[in-house]
Amino acid sequence: MKKSQTKKFKTYRLYAAFPTQENVEKAAGSRFQRVTSRYILRYTDKHLEKPWMEVAGEDLKRLTDQDEAWLWDCGKVLAAETLAKRQEESGHRMADLLDRLEQELHRELENSRQETGRERGDASWET
């Protein structure tokens, strides 16, 4: 793959905030959010400003089993989407490759027929 064709992967981060009305409303617009009575979690590829705090490192140990299960579910959804997209892209690339191969084989066959016709002196093979 050429350097210009390399794909940049999105980096997702986990953020937390207190469950205020404003934070709940902001989280509602997020694809991956978990609202509890004590905090709100958002898993996003966007950088969030205060009052949202990134949850990383030692803070990850504070997640409950339910939080971890939810986070794993988010990851599984993203992985499945990426896999489906890659399979679709691979299918298109394979179809393109087969089309080019077919065209090249037709060209080679035509060239072979022309050369065989010339060797026999058969003018009907020439185009």
Per-residue pLDDT tens over the stretch 48-70: 999 999 999 999 999 999 999 99
Residue 79 maps to a domain? yes
Beta-carbon count within 10 A of 18 CB: 13
- Structurally, the chain folds into a number of domains equal to 1
pLDDT at 82: 87
Let me know if residue 2 belongs to a domain: no
Looking at the chain, how many residues does it have? 127
Q: According to the model, what pLDDT value does residue 121 have?
A: 64
In a domain, residue 126? The reply is no
Looking at residue 122, what is its pLDDT?
Answer: 59
pLDDT score, position 1: 45
Which residue, 4, 5, 34, is CA-closest to 93? Answer: 5
pTM over cut 0.95: no
Please tell me whether residue 35 adopts helix, strand or coil conformation: strand
User: Which residues of the chain, if any, have pLDDT below 70?
Assistant: 1-7, 118-127
- Contact by Cβ (8 Å): 55, 41: yes
Phi, psi of 108 (to 5 degrees): -65, -40
For the chain, report the end-to-end CA distance as a whole number of angstroms: 39
